[in-house]
């Protein structure tokens, strides 16, 4: 997984490399194997938009992932959950 920041907003840009998933390192130091078809921009048969993922993620509480440092007190206006990109709607 990498953080994509061309617009200076951190978003998950995910690549499934092994058994439909990849390891993610978290800020508290732990790592976990993670599967997410919606965020994968390389997976075969997964929904995707052109060459990118079908969804964007800023805050995904069900998976304990967030890119906003003061979440859950504030989302700083970013949406919560997986947001379908326009080509996936």
List per-residue pLDDT tens for the chain, 89 residues long: 444 555 545 566 666 777 778 787 777 888 888 887 777 776 666 777 777 778 888 888 887 778 777 888 999 888 898 888 887 76
Question: What range does the domain containing 82 cover?
Answer: 2-88
Number of domains in the chain: 1
CA–CA distance, 65 with 46 (Å, rounded to integer): 21
Place of tokens 């379908």: 84
pTM (2 decimals)?
A: 0.63
CB 14 within 8 A of CB 22: yes
């Amino acid at each position: 997984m990498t953080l994509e920041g061309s617009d200076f907003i951190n978003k998950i840009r995910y690549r499934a490399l092994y058994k439909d998933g990849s390891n993610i390192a978290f800020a508290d130091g732990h790592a976990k194997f993670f599967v997410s078809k919606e965020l994968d921009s390389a997976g075969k048969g997964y929904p995707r938009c052109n060459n990118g993922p079908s969804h964007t993620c800023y805050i995904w509480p069900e998976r304990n992932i967030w890119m906003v440092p003061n979440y859950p007190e504030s989302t700083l206006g970013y949406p919560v959950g997986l947001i379908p990109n326009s080509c996936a709607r």
